[in-house]
Structure 1
Amino acid sequence: MSNELIFIIGFIVFIGLMLAIDLGVFAKKDKPISIKQAGIMSGVWVALAIGFYVLIINYGHLLHGIENFAQLQQKNIDNFHKLKLNPADFEGSLAIYRKNLGLEFITGYVVEYALSVDNIFVMVLIFSAFGVAEKYYHKVLVWGILGAIVMRFIFIFLGSTLIDRFHWVLYIFGGFLIYTGVTMFINRNQEEKIDPENHPVVKFASKHFGVHPHFVGGRFFTKIQGKKLITPLFLVLLIIEFTDVIFAVDSIPAIFSVTKDPYIVFFSNIFAILGLRSMFFLLVNIIHKFHYLKTGLSFLLVFIGLKMLGGHYFEEWGFTTTHSLIAILAILGASIAASLIFPKRKHKHV
């Protein structure tokens, strides 16, 4: 069994245990999640991500089973790290590789976390549009994570295979991110709406499955005269999954601008998603205050897209992963600061 497979299995088992604890502790009884609970879980997920970063910078070479300089150099080439390694100093070169791997992980984590925040706006709209009781939010989001992990795994390793075989795919990713960023900037002030009856997921489910017209507590399924029906709460779960797939189309290519190592992309992606689901309960009532966040995210997408398109020039200018992380944090920090310094004006109704 390869080291990569051992890492993936171990990671998924660990995540499964954490989700079981999360679901068992906080969703055993359907009730709203308090700010305190959300804060604790958010802190736990961030701490786990930092702990994983520490693990990588100390033992990251074990991920790919690197035992000699030839293997290290090959992995350096395969994943486009472009590190300057010294054949005469294997241990020193290994330390450089691990440090870079850790930096790529934490940068990818920040990028995914930032881009996923926009998902919170949509999730709030979905819950409101379908009239979901607040006490069921957590149950839907936790179960939604399971589907998100599977879909992200498929997307990431499919994307990595495409990049490995057709390097020019990166230019398509870059162009798409710039287009998405510009579109987001143009539509930043438009009010998003969700029509429960005409949503494509609702139409599909209504056409192919039996749908119960009303919520049945916190249940996803119910039986009427022996016929199994899906409830509106399960429809909401499906829409959350559908929305996550759409957001993955933006976020996954964005992380590939930071690292081409699919395992680092996967780990950083999943840690960010897990943390954000807990962060949802901290931000749900104040997310509207960060009205410049979409502007910041649009600039972030354009920056990442330009970096993917002009990777060669960025390298010539000495633009490293550290510089990327600083630029990303600066863009996000500026958008958050601007939102707090210049709060949105309330329209007066005459």
Structure 2
Amino acid sequence: MIDSIGTPTLYIAFSVLVAILLAVDFFILKQEGEHRVSTREAAVWSLIWVSIALAFGAWFWWYLRGIVGEEVARTRALEYLTGYLIEKSLAVDNVFVWITLFNFFAVPAAYQKRVLLYGVLGAIVLRALLIYVGALLLAQFHWILYVFGAFLLYTGVHMVRAADDEPNLADNKILRWMRKHIRITDEYHQDRFFVVRQGLRYATPMFVVLVLVEITDVIFAVDSIPAIFAVTGDPFIVFTSNIFAILGLRAMYFLLADMAQRFHLLKYGLAGILVFIGIKMLLLDIYKIPTGIALGVVGLILSVSVVASLMTSKPTRP
């Protein structure tokens, strides 16, 4: 049996809220049309998405306090906040990969918004499925936590070793397969994914980028979903904190797109977070690190890596 504070009513209400937020985001995107998102605009939207997530956390605490008491409400609200910070932090690495993809394919800035919108929608569906499967596994097999912990520890160490490596998209197996089996145009046709030429349907580079964006969502979801289960086993908290972290990804991309190089040490911070969460999971039956301490450690690691990045310059390659 899965222990969760979430009720069918809460899940439905939250899903409706997300649908409304996505509809508003899509409407605004359509009204703005094709234009390059400025850093200022991205910063404003990032602040809006973070504010909405924090407002939900405050409401969640208030709601729980009225039905289960102050102590449980404080514990669950803290789990939500910690989970949100972890997911938001790990999402930065996802954004860096998007930046690499868009640069490699030279996606015009005005067309990037549409790819990211579909990428966010795909990530929401995917993570909902993975969270459901993860919750079922944990309910049946407690030892799966050790598997998650070992996997996160390995991923964190691997991320440190590969932190300075430049991804080689030209040799990407998926990209090579697509180029071999799908008719692809050499040029963009505005923000369209497909065009018809002489009765034949061709994919555009926009479609190729979309496929690779969705695949990176799968890869990063495999990391981030186990990470948050180290903080809470409540599927509702895992789901809500994950979705709110994803909703602001598009704004985060445009915020970081022009200054990704300034955060050259952030990958080490994200690796440190994964290692810490992995260790926390492996020690779960020996010593349960309090959620408040976990929140502080994650926040400290993230802050140190950001500040260190801003205070130092990225070494140039010989």
1 or 2 for the larger relative contact order (CA 8 Å, sep ≥6)? Answer: 2
Flag structure 2 segments of 5+ consecutive residues without an equivalent.
Answer: none
Deviations along 1:285-340, whole A, 9 cap, x unmatched? 1121111111111111111001000013323xxx3100110011111111112112
Following the alignment from structure 2 to structure 1, what is the Cα–Cα distance between the partners of residues 264 and 6?
A: 44
Structure 1 runs of 4+ with >6 Å offset: none
The residue type equivalent to 2:39 in the other structure is I
**Aligned residue number for residue 137 of structure 2:** 162
Q: Kindly indicate whether the alpha-carbon contact (under 8 Å) linking 1:201 and 1:238 is maintained by their aligned counterparts in 2.
A: no
Shift of 1:110: 0.3
The residue type equivalent to 1:25 in the other structure is I
- Percentage of matched positions with identical amino acids: 41
What secondary structure does 2:111 align onto?
helix
Is 1:139 the counterpart of 2:114 in the alignment? yes
The residue type equivalent to 2:94 in the other structure is N
Following the alignment from structure 2 to structure 1, what is the Cα–Cα distance between the partners of residues 36 and 19?
A: 23
Deviations along 1:55-89, whole A, 9 cap, x unmatched? 11011379xxx6xxxxxxxxxxxxxxxxxxxxxxx
**Aligned residue number for residue 40 of structure 1:** 44
Following the alignment from structure 2 to structure 1, what is the Cα–Cα distance between the partners of residues 308 and 186?
A: 44
The residue type equivalent to 2:274 in the other structure is L
> Of the candidates 4, 26, 29, which is equivalent to residue 26 of structure 1?
29
Following the alignment from structure 1 to structure 2, what is the Cα–Cα distance between the partners of residues 147 and 157?
A: 16
Following the alignment from structure 2 to structure 1, what is the Cα–Cα distance between the partners of residues 178 and 14?
A: 33
> Of the candidates 337, 342, 348, which is equivalent to residue 307 of structure 2?
337
> Of the candidates 302, 324, 327, which is equivalent to residue 294 of structure 2?
324
> Of the candidates 174, 182, 202, which is equivalent to residue 229 of structure 1?
202
Shift of 1:32: 0.7
Bigger Rg over Cα: 1
The residue type equivalent to 1:153 in the other structure is A
Is 1:121 the counterpart of 2:125 in the alignment? no
**Superposition RMSD on alpha carbons, in Å?**
2.1
Deviations along 1:184-235, whole A, 9 cap, x unmatched? 111222222311xx43333444566543343111111222234433321011
TM-score by length of 1: 0.84
Following the alignment from structure 1 to structure 2, what is the Cα–Cα distance between the partners of residues 43 and 265?
A: 22
> Of the candidates 271, 285, 299, which is equivalent to residue 312 of structure 1?
285
Deviations along 1:19-54, whole A, 9 cap, x unmatched? 222222234411111122212211110110011101
The residue type equivalent to 1:133 in the other structure is P
> Of the candidates 12, 16, 20, which is equivalent to residue 13 of structure 1?
16
Shift of 1:128: 1.1
**Aligned residue number for residue 59 of structure 2:** 55
Q: Which moved more, 1:257-266 or 1:335-344?
A: 335-344
For residues 1-350 of structure 1, what are the structure 2 equivalents within 5 Å? 4-28=7-31, 29-60=33-64, 94-195=69-170, 198-206=171-179, 209-315=182-288, 319-346=289-316
**Aligned residue number for residue 89 of structure 1:** none
TM-score by length of 2: 0.92
